[in-house]
Amino acid sequence: MKTWIACVGLALALAQSAAAAAPAASCTAPEYRAFDFWVGDWTVTTPTGKVAGTNHVTREYDGCVVHEHYDTGRGYSGESLNIYDAGRKLWHQTWVDTMGTLLVLEGGLRDGKMVLEGQTVGTDAQVTKHRITWTPLGNGSVRQFWESTDAKGNWTVAFDGLYTPKSRP
């Protein structure tokens, strides 16, 4: 019994020591802040001014994750988790929604714009490429321009949205 108590005591001491030695969050470098322009509460409109939905974008997990919550208010919603992958030196987004969509995108800043690309495979085995560009605008708004390829491989506009701030952190 004494041996068991000693082992438990040693295990607890090691666990406490490891917890105390755990490094602080390392997501403070400028690369981790590259998508901060998208953080906030937004009204999203189409080029014609029609409200497409709302978006709530936050920084979470000690600033290591940009978390998006999109809702049209008409039964469609989705969310994305966005991280800077320091090992590969790129941004990664995983999007899921109420239609069962999984979209994985990767990329980074290009000329001050966040550009992420990826592809999906349909149930018919057709591959569709996706490219989404977020552009911070001088008035505090953000433009999201989503392109995807059609059956012939031509790029077409999938969504063009203007994010107008409701509030900013």
Mean pLDDT of 101-117: 97
Mean pLDDT of 27-53: 96
Segment 156-169, tens digit of pLDDT = 999 999 999 996 66
* 66 — pLDDT class (breaks 50, 70, 90): very high
Q: Which residues pair with 85 in a beta bridge?
A: 90
Domains: count for the chain: 1
- Tell me how far apart the terminal alpha carbons of the chain are, to the nearest angstrom: 55
Whole-angstrom Cα distance, residue 78 to residue 8?
45
Q: Is residue 67 part of a domain?
A: yes
Q: List Cβ<8 Å contacts ≥24 apart for 75-84.
A: 77/53, 82/35, 84/27, 84/31, 84/32, 84/34, 84/35
The CATH number assigned to the domain holding 39 equals 2.40.128.20
Report yes or no: 34 and 45 within 8 Å, Cβ to Cβ.
no
The per-residue pLDDT for 16 is 57
Range of weakest confidence among 21-25, 115-119, 162-166: 21-25
Identity of the amino acid at 5: I
* Host domain of residue 156: 26-167
Q: Is residue 92 part of a domain?
A: yes
Q: Is residue 130 part of a domain?
A: yes
Q: Is residue 15 part of a domain?
A: no
Q: Is residue 98 part of a domain?
A: yes
Q: Is residue 137 part of a domain?
A: yes
* 151 — pLDDT class (breaks 50, 70, 90): confident
Q: Is residue 5 part of a domain?
A: no
Whole-angstrom Cα distance, residue 31 to residue 14?
34
Q: Is residue 46 part of a domain?
A: yes
pTM of the model: 0.83
* 6 — pLDDT class (breaks 50, 70, 90): very low
Residue reference for tokens 């994985």: 104
